Structure 1
Amino acid sequence: MAKQEYIQKNREWLSAKAKEPGVMSLDKGIYYKVIKKGNPKGAMPNRGSVVTAHYVGKTINGKTFDSSRGGVAPAFRLRELIPGWVIALQQMHVGDKWELYIPAEQAYGSRNIPGIPGGSTLVFEIELLGVA
């Protein structure tokens, strides 16, 4: 598939996903669906927070490119992650589990990353376990 065709297919997939029941929008074309609600009074991260989260990352064809499942949940400084994570996690409470749909522009853009072709819409299942 040609690069431009691949990019268009990813945009169309995201546009269709956005119309599904239960899918909500965030800034910059990011969408999500709540899988599990945490404590609504629980901690929420900011850009400078260190977050602990379990996650599974996939491309729109369902191919997993990264996962923390099966191991210890990693800790990340939020501001060092892709923009889509930075935007979404600041809206989550500890204990929330979301399926997140991130357009390429808020992920890796047109760059090819191992397992992720440039222009990819990314799908993450993220469970926020802690904020420091």
Structure 2
Amino acid sequence: MRGHTFLISTLLAATLALSGAAQAQLNARPAIGGQVDAQHQFIQEYAKQPGVEVSTEGVAYRFLRKGPPVGLQPMPNSRIRVHYEGRLIDGTVFDSSYQRDETTVMSLEKVVKGWVEVIPRMHVGDKLEMVIPAELGYGQKGSGDGVIPPGATLIFKVELFEILPGELPRKGG
């Protein structure tokens, strides 16, 4: 009986350690750009919500709608057609294809690392929300136009409409 109790408590501890691995990843995030831990605290709180998963790199995400669970999924070098909205934790929208009322075609090779971490988990028809720590977004530099400050956590809603063949044409010829 004592051996069974030890085995059960060991298995329970191992299970808790595994489920806590994602939380440990979030807790290990350093502050960036002089930001107080409010940005990372936001991600930790978001990660506690029902249905939220955390990637190995620390992006918290949840599916808002699941399309058919079959077919192709994007690769890290895929070209995709999406609708998306990007905002800061204070609610400021910094970019939105919804506001432009047209989907966007982009290469995953040319987006922030947080997208590359999560978008390949989607199928065409899926819609998700992801919260990206600054290290996997714009980091200490923020955006060039100043809309996204240094150390900012990013929140994106993304709808995947299509995975496209080929490469995007290069700008300027």
TM bucket normalised to smaller:
over 0.9
Q: Does 1:61 align with 2:102?
A: no
Q: Does 1:120 align with 2:152?
A: yes
Contact (CA 8 Å) 1:7, 1:120: kept in 2 or not?
A: no
Query: CA offsets per residue over residues 50-79 of structure 1, 9 Å max, x none?
Result: 111000000011110000014221111111
TM-score, normalising length: structure 2: 0.71
Q: Rg: which structure is higher?
A: 2
- Which protein has the bigger strand share? 1
Uncovered stretches (5+) of structure 1, i.e. residues with no partner: none
Uncovered stretches (5+) of structure 2, i.e. residues with no partner: 1-32, 165-173
Query: CA offsets per residue over residues 82-110 of structure 1, 9 Å max, x none?
Result: 10011111111011000111000000111
Aligned residues: 129
Q: How large is the Cα RMSD of the aligned pairs?
A: 1.2
User: Aligned partners of 2:118, 2:142: CA distance in 1, in Å?
Assistant: 23
Q: 1:9 aligns with which of 31, 38, 42?
A: 38
Match runs of 1:1-132 below 5 Å: 4=34, 6-69=35-98, 70-113=100-143, 114-132=146-164
- Which protein has the bigger helix share? 2
Once superposed, which parts of structure 1, at least 4 consecutive aligned residues long, lie more than 2 Å away?
none
Letter in 2 for 1:124: F
| Deviates most, 67-76 or 90-99 | 67-76
Contact (CA 8 Å) 1:7, 1:119: kept in 2 or not?
A: no
Contact (CA 8 Å) 1:44, 1:94: kept in 2 or not?
A: yes
